[in-house]
Amino acid sequence: MKRFLHALRHEALSQARYVPMTAVAVAGSVLLFTAVSWIFNPRPPAFWSQFPFVFVVVSAILTSGVYRELQDEARRIEFLLRPTTHVEKTGAKLLVSLLGYWLVFVAVWTVGALIARGGYAILFGVPWSEAASSALINPSDFPHGGPWDGKVPMAALIFSSSPLELAFRTLLAFVPVHAIYFFGSVYFRRRAFGRTLLSLVVWGISYLLIGVVLTRLVMAPYWTAPGALDGITEEQFLGLLPRFLLNPARTKTVFDIAISTIFYGLAWRRLSETEG
């Protein structure tokens, strides 16, 4: 455990410079875009609404470079011979590139949202409490205890504040995407983001084609004989499917967990097979 914490600290330190800088640069760009949009349409900024898209795209790009030590021979030797297990190396990188990036982005976005709202309040004379309503934790909730009537459990305070709820849901949705780009980073030594994206597109098209062909083969009797589907009700058709597939939310959760587990596992496996 001590060794893992040391590896985690090492990983956090090695990314401490450029991840916050990237987050600030991206948030600054969104702020600038927001300010320019006020020239044409002065309305309260919805700064957090940009968060899911920006976080997923930028974090996927950053995650693609998380194994950059493997790109250079001297750094690869040092990294592979670092006295930690492959699980610890993978775990440290996973935590920093998933939770670490998320925490940095949430912090930067909170400040960005306050600046955007504050700027809007100064320029257009909107009261601060209203301007601050989309900040991470709404200050106006606190004097009267918010919707929890003064008995605010910490978890509810954290996860029920709407921007943070959005950020948390974004994080959950990002996990399978992160797993894929995390694997891409250890698998591809050069241009990992582009290659992973290309692989995903090829993978998607392949599955689509295989699905179409299989469906065509399996359903051939129904398509080749006109009227063969007549009389089959939707209930009868859905009855053929496994029950869990009938609940899309549950199916997606199972799919996300499976994808994440498989790709994180593959990333660990690939690292243990990497030569220096």
Partner 1 sequence: MIEMKAVRFSYGKRSHLFDGLDFSIDTGGVYGLLGKNGAGKTTMLKLAAGLRFPHAGDITLFGHPAYKRRPDALARLAFVPEEVAVPPIRIADFATIYGGYYPRFDAAKMSEYMERFEVPRAGRMDQFSLGQKKKALLALAFASGADLVFLDEPTNGLDIPSKQVFRRMVAESVGDERAFVISTHQVRDVQNLIDPIVILHEGTVVLHVGVNDLLSRVGVKRFPSERDAADGGAIVTQPDIGGVTALVPATPEDATESDTLDLELLFEAAIRNAEALV
Kindly list the residues in this chain that would bind partner 1 in the complex (CB under 8 A).
Answer: 3, 6, 9-10, 13-14, 17, 72-75, 77-78, 80-86, 88, 272, 275-276
CB of 126 to partner 1, least distance (A): 43
**In terms of CB distance, is 7 or 30 closer to partner 1?**
7
CB of 142 to partner 1, least distance (A): 39
User: What's the rounded Cα separation, in Å, for the pair 34 and 120?
Assistant: 10
User: What's the rounded Cα separation, in Å, for the pair 26 and 32?
Assistant: 10
**In terms of CB distance, is 15 or 133 closer to partner 1?**
15
What are the distances in angstroms from CA 24 to CA 19, 98, 107? Answer: 9, 17, 10
What are the distances in angstroms from CA 138 to CA 43, 110, 113, 132, 273? Answer: 19, 11, 11, 6, 49
The three-class DSSP label of residue 1 is: coil
CB of 5 to partner 1, least distance (A): 10
**In terms of CB distance, is 17 or 144 closer to partner 1?**
17
**In terms of CB distance, is 71 or 140 closer to partner 1?**
71
**In terms of CB distance, is 78 or 130 closer to partner 1?**
78
User: What's the rounded Cα separation, in Å, for the pair 256 and 261?
Assistant: 8
What are the distances in angstroms from CA 83 to CA 3, 13, 80, 200, 265? Answer: 9, 17, 8, 34, 20
CB of 69 to partner 1, least distance (A): 9
Question: Is the torsion defined by CA of 8, 13, 17, 20 positive or negative?
Answer: positive
CB of 220 to partner 1, least distance (A): 45
H or E segment at 195? Answer: helix 192-218
CB of 235 to partner 1, least distance (A): 56
**In terms of CB distance, is 12 or 121 closer to partner 1?**
12
CB of 169 to partner 1, least distance (A): 35
Residue in 25, 31, 22 with CA at minimum distance from that of residue 50: 31
**In terms of CB distance, is 8 or 152 closer to partner 1?**
8
DSSP string, 110-171: HHHHHHHHHHHHHHH---HHHHGGGSSS-GGGTTTTGGGTT---HHHHHHHSHHHHHHHHHH
